Chain A
């Protein structure tokens, strides 16, 4: 099941085509970009895991405010350190691809926004989310008053069961109504 040196086997390729939303060219391009991230000795090992710092050098992820969360969510490493194998990388690209369904995108979006991995978006998660979106510098951040107002507006709109958190189905309910979600939740190599 691992990827060997520089070529993807034909049956692996067709298997990946069946299991992801990517086309053959996209999988080959992903393989090429992934092997560029490997060092010389790593290239010969099958199933190498690339540490998160190297993944974040990819230009598609470098400017993304959620890059660390994305790596964390798609990583299957036992140490939860965000490192990705090639198959994790393919999973990532498949979920972010053009032809992925709304369900899979919203599922992964929920997991990305869930900063504390507890299965719901509570005030802490939402606050971190807003801070990610408004940039790193102080002058672009919102004041505490604005933040409180924003979070209460959000919960008022989407929290149907009024438990102070947004769970997966509430999230999916909101997202499925959005016209922009599918087109903006896209990463292409």
Chain B
């Protein structure tokens, strides 16, 4: 028994000595450690009071001798390990080894300053033997705390940079002790209130920890496409993989949006609403009935596709449907608002999390160090990528050194400035040109629509979408060429490029929306005329029958024959759906032609071509991370814009993202080569999130505008017959909620309350902004102080 005790202390010794050695070499600040030291000092002193050791004096003396002894450390290592193995195999049944566990606590908490004096203190105080039954309730509390502390120590264990053997031994000891600790004091602990309760609590905590761990494992296993992305990471580095991780994240968001729209809007109407053909809005008009099933019409989302749950116009304005009394219009409105609210929440939460992880913002003060220590991407497993990475690291070193030297030189500023102004001017011209082109094309398409679509070729019918997609493809290349004039640092140039592409897409989108607004107004004019016509038509119907009898029998008219108003909301939904489809098609076709075909040509024509195709002109394409990310962001913006008018959009997007993931993963592995200049992904992470947030805001603006200002169509959609779409809320409050609720709500929406609330929020924002600024300044001051203080304190030493 004694030998076993000694060997365990050997183990501690060995560990402590090793720590000592490392510590001796490290001259470091111990502030964090001192704090922990103090806390655990207090705890140890408490434990000392409850000591339960028998006389182990002779053991202690032997131990001290060994500590000061000069036994060969290597031998002790070997022995210690062997004996530890034996120990474990045999199993020690000692119940009183507080001392050892305190040494361990010591080790775990400090891993430094093995102050011998404190040890001696502890050892001297251990003569007292306390019987468990005589402990008071507060000491019981302290006991319980001590048990919890042990549990926390076990959790801390995995963060210690120790070899596995040491961790295993420590864990085993800690576990054994806490088990025996609880066993010994079970009587005492139980004597208080609820012994069974305590044991039950302990068991539940253990089960809960196990459940949590299993759940974490399950969650990691559930993440889709993990293996694919890891493979891409090892071949192309983390920046290309970051695009796919972003794609997957978007897929998650869209899945939630899809569940909302599908489960709360489409399914209830399909199951509980009136079936197809019963009312005019749900039926294909007689005039279109012959062509309603044609593929061309369906592809264009007309015909049967238009008169289905996919679009706004199908929904009935009945207040409550089915036996559940499901409030359909209310649900439609709330789901629309809910999708936007959810998206905002998710984007902002991700931004906040990224901002936390990325440290103290953009710090340029450790440029060289970061290049040295963090530039290698350990995920790279492919020799070709590794070579590329080597080359790019060398280039970046040389560049950085050159830049450092040149920042002292002052090159020809005026020429660079002039060139930059020229470049920006050219870019503005491009943007204006593309905006005008889109506007022109949309007006033309309206003219075509008035003439009747059948008279024009396929190109003329799809002109708008094709022009937008083509502009989105070619203008970025143009911007790339223009930016060669500017001579910026690559990272800055990339940001300018991204900013310009962003402006291009935004301009295109808004021109498209303005053109759409024109069409909406046209349709509303048409609606007024049709409303007038309907009243005359109905009057004529009744006039015809009233001549027979005094009481007019109800005239049954086929729903397909009723004259229909032009449902502008469905039209808007259709336009968005068509835009998304054409955009997707363009992306896929560019992928196939631009990447795949190019790779095939380069690979096979290389044998019979005059110059080396692989190294020279076309060569294999690189994966354009930023272009793809922007495309993804803009697509999402279009989804957000159109989802209110076409509930099928999230479903469409899910399909699109799913296919994109597989297609692009295949294309990347098959046709692309790793980038030459390998940029780090993480710096841009928040940049992309910020763009997503801006797009979210800008895309919900038009939707909100149309909801608030334009009255809904009179004969289609869930809000037909109302003055405004949001009147459904008012209606629900009046009819479904008790009276006092309505009163409270009307007080809350009183401008007298809302305005002060807004004012308060503005003040809060201002306050938070100014405190964060002052914290940043304090940070800078402290950094400077640290520099000067360490310089001052160490310079005399240097002199010595």
Contact A176-B359, Cβ < 8 Å, known A120-B25, A167-B26, A188-B379: yes
The complex places the Cα of A65 from the Cα of B234 at a distance, in Å, of 15
Chain B residues positioned under 8 Å from A186 (CB to CB): 378-379
The complex places the Cα of A118 from the Cα of B369 at a distance, in Å, of 20
The complex places the Cα of A175 from the Cα of B397 at a distance, in Å, of 18
Chain A residues positioned under 8 Å from B221 (CB to CB): 25
Chain A residues positioned under 8 Å from B88 (CB to CB): 1
Q: For chain A residues 156-189, which have a beta carbon within 8 Å of chain B?
A: 157-158, 160-163, 167-169, 171, 174-188
Candidates B74, B159, B238, B391; contact of A135 at CB < 8 Å: B391
Instruction: Give a binary string over B212-249; 1 marks a CB under 8 Å from any A CB, 0 the rest.
Output: 01001100110000000010011000100000000000
Candidates A17, A183, A185; contact of B213 at CB < 8 Å: A17
Chain B residues positioned under 8 Å from A168 (CB to CB): 26, 28
- Of the listed stretches B163-171, B724-732, B758-766, chain A binds B163-171
Candidates B233, B373, B398; contact of A146 at CB < 8 Å: B398
Query: Chain B at the A interface: mostly helix, strand, loop or mixed?
Result: helix
Question: B389 → chain A, closest Cβ, in Å?
Answer: 9
Interface presence of B749 (CB below 8 A):
no
- Docked-complex contact B359 and A179, CB < 8 angstroms: yes
- Of the listed stretches B509-517, B585-593, B784-792, chain A binds B784-792
The complex places the Cα of A123 from the Cα of B250 at a distance, in Å, of 46
Candidates B28, B363, B375; contact of A177 at CB < 8 Å: B363
Instruction: Give a binary string over A94-109; 1 marks a CB under 8 Å from any B CB, 0 the rest.
Output: 1110000101100111
Interface presence of B295 (CB below 8 A):
no
Interface presence of A119 (CB below 8 A):
yes
Interface presence of B780 (CB below 8 A):
no
* Nearest-CB residue, chain B, relative to A184: B377
Candidates A18, A63, A160, A176; contact of B385 at CB < 8 Å: A63
Interface presence of A126 (CB below 8 A):
yes
Interface presence of A41 (CB below 8 A):
no
The complex places the Cα of A60 from the Cα of B235 at a distance, in Å, of 11
The complex places the Cα of A149 from the Cα of B399 at a distance, in Å, of 12
Chain B residues positioned under 8 Å from A63 (CB to CB): 380-383, 385-386
Chain A residues positioned under 8 Å from B160 (CB to CB): 104
The complex places the Cα of A109 from the Cα of B791 at a distance, in Å, of 26
- Docked-complex contact B366 and A133, CB < 8 angstroms: no
Interface presence of A122 (CB below 8 A):
no
Chain A residues positioned under 8 Å from B168 (CB to CB): 1, 15, 19, 87
Question: B520 → chain A, closest Cβ, in Å?
Answer: 46
- Docked-complex contact B683 and A179, CB < 8 angstroms: yes
Q: For chain B residues 446-462, which have a beta carbon within 8 Å of chain A?
A: none
Contact A19-B379, Cβ < 8 Å, known A113-B373, A129-B372, A130-B397: no
Candidates A94, A133, A167; contact of B390 at CB < 8 Å: A133
- Docked-complex contact B26 and A134, CB < 8 angstroms: no
* Nearest-CB residue, chain B, relative to A64: B378
- Docked-complex contact A19 and B171, CB < 8 angstroms: yes
- Docked-complex contact A157 and B368, CB < 8 angstroms: yes
Question: A20 → chain B, closest Cβ, in Å?
Answer: 6
The complex places the Cα of A177 from the Cα of B658 at a distance, in Å, of 37
- Docked-complex contact A162 and B26, CB < 8 angstroms: no
The complex places the Cα of A36 from the Cα of B280 at a distance, in Å, of 69
Interface presence of B393 (CB below 8 A):
yes
- Docked-complex contact B378 and A154, CB < 8 angstroms: no
* Nearest-CB residue, chain A, relative to B163: A76
Interface presence of B706 (CB below 8 A):
no
Candidates A95, A119, A134; contact of B397 at CB < 8 Å: A134
Chain A residues positioned under 8 Å from B363 (CB to CB): 177
* Nearest-CB residue, chain B, relative to A111: B161
Instruction: Give a binary string over A16-57; 1 marks a CB under 8 Å from any B CB, 0 the rest.
Output: 011111011100000000000000000000000000000000
Interface presence of A140 (CB below 8 A):
yes
Contact A130-B372, Cβ < 8 Å, known A87-B163, A146-B397, A146-B401: yes
Interface presence of B667 (CB below 8 A):
no
- Docked-complex contact A183 and B238, CB < 8 angstroms: yes
The complex places the Cα of A142 from the Cα of B791 at a distance, in Å, of 31
Chain A residues positioned under 8 Å from B682 (CB to CB): 179-180, 183
Chain A residues positioned under 8 Å from B137 (CB to CB): none
Chain A residues positioned under 8 Å from B786 (CB to CB): 160
Chain A residues positioned under 8 Å from B74 (CB to CB): 78
Contact A142-B376, Cβ < 8 Å, known A118-B25, A167-B27, A183-B238: no
Interface presence of B29 (CB below 8 A):
yes
- Docked-complex contact B365 and A157, CB < 8 angstroms: yes
Interface presence of B404 (CB below 8 A):
yes
Chain A residues positioned under 8 Å from B378 (CB to CB): 64, 96, 184-187
- Docked-complex contact A140 and B394, CB < 8 angstroms: yes
Chain B residues positioned under 8 Å from A107 (CB to CB): 161
- Docked-complex contact B161 and A134, CB < 8 angstroms: no
Chain A residues positioned under 8 Å from B216 (CB to CB): 23
The complex places the Cα of A182 from the Cα of B365 at a distance, in Å, of 19
Candidates B367, B380, B791; contact of A162 at CB < 8 Å: B791
- Docked-complex contact B22 and A119, CB < 8 angstroms: yes
Chain A residues positioned under 8 Å from B398 (CB to CB): 142, 146
The complex places the Cα of A177 from the Cα of B374 at a distance, in Å, of 11
Question: B210 → chain A, closest Cβ, in Å?
Answer: 8
Interface presence of A62 (CB below 8 A):
yes
Q: For chain B residues 715-749, which have a beta carbon within 8 Å of chain A?
A: none
- Docked-complex contact B376 and A169, CB < 8 angstroms: no
The complex places the Cα of A182 from the Cα of B794 at a distance, in Å, of 31
The complex places the Cα of A19 from the Cα of B155 at a distance, in Å, of 8
- Docked-complex contact B390 and A140, CB < 8 angstroms: yes
- Docked-complex contact B28 and A167, CB < 8 angstroms: yes
- Docked-complex contact B397 and A169, CB < 8 angstroms: no
Question: A17 → chain B, closest Cβ, in Å?
Answer: 6
* Nearest-CB residue, chain A, relative to B393: A133
* Nearest-CB residue, chain A, relative to B385: A63
* Nearest-CB residue, chain A, relative to B686: A179
- Docked-complex contact A62 and B28, CB < 8 angstroms: no
Instruction: Give a binary string over B690-712; 1 marks a CB under 8 Å from any A CB, 0 the rest.
Output: 00000000000000000000000
- Docked-complex contact A101 and B359, CB < 8 angstroms: no
* Nearest-CB residue, chain A, relative to B29: A169
Interface presence of A90 (CB below 8 A):
yes
- Docked-complex contact B798 and A169, CB < 8 angstroms: no
* Nearest-CB residue, chain A, relative to B157: A19
Interface presence of B182 (CB below 8 A):
no
- Docked-complex contact B369 and A18, CB < 8 angstroms: no
Chain B residues positioned under 8 Å from A184 (CB to CB): 238, 374-379, 680
Question: B629 → chain A, closest Cβ, in Å?
Answer: 17
Interface presence of B207 (CB below 8 A):
no
- Docked-complex contact A135 and B372, CB < 8 angstroms: no
Instruction: Give a binary string over B59-103; 1 marks a CB under 8 Å from any A CB, 0 the rest.
Output: 000000000000000100110000001001000000000000000
Chain A residues positioned under 8 Å from B358 (CB to CB): 179
Contact A64-B158, Cβ < 8 Å, known A1-B88, A180-B370, A183-B682: no
- Docked-complex contact A64 and B164, CB < 8 angstroms: no
- Docked-complex contact B373 and A109, CB < 8 angstroms: yes
* Nearest-CB residue, chain A, relative to B375: A133
Interface presence of B321 (CB below 8 A):
no
- Docked-complex contact A59 and B381, CB < 8 angstroms: yes
Interface presence of A150 (CB below 8 A):
yes
Interface presence of B681 (CB below 8 A):
yes
Could you name 26 residue pairs across A and B whose Cβ atoms are closer than 8 Å? A17-B213, A19-B157, A23-B220, A60-B381, A63-B382, A65-B376, A66-B376, A87-B165, A91-B164, A104-B160, A109-B373, A120-B25, A133-B390, A133-B394, A134-B394, A135-B390, A135-B391, A141-B394, A149-B404, A153-B368, A160-B791, A161-B27, A174-B373, A179-B357, A179-B359, A188-B379
The 3 residue pairs across chains A and B that have the minimum distance between CB atoms: A135-B390, A87-B164, A119-B25
- Given A1-B88, A19-B171, A59-B381, 6 additional A-B pairs, CB 8 A: A19-B168, A63-B386, A101-B159, A157-B369, A169-B28, A178-B369
Give the B-binding residues of A (Cβ under 8 A).
1, 15, 17-21, 23-25, 59-60, 62-66, 74, 76, 78, 87-88, 90-91, 94-96, 101, 103-104, 107-109, 113, 118-120, 126, 129-130, 133-135, 140-142, 146, 149-150, 153-154, 157-158, 160-163, 167-169, 171, 174-188
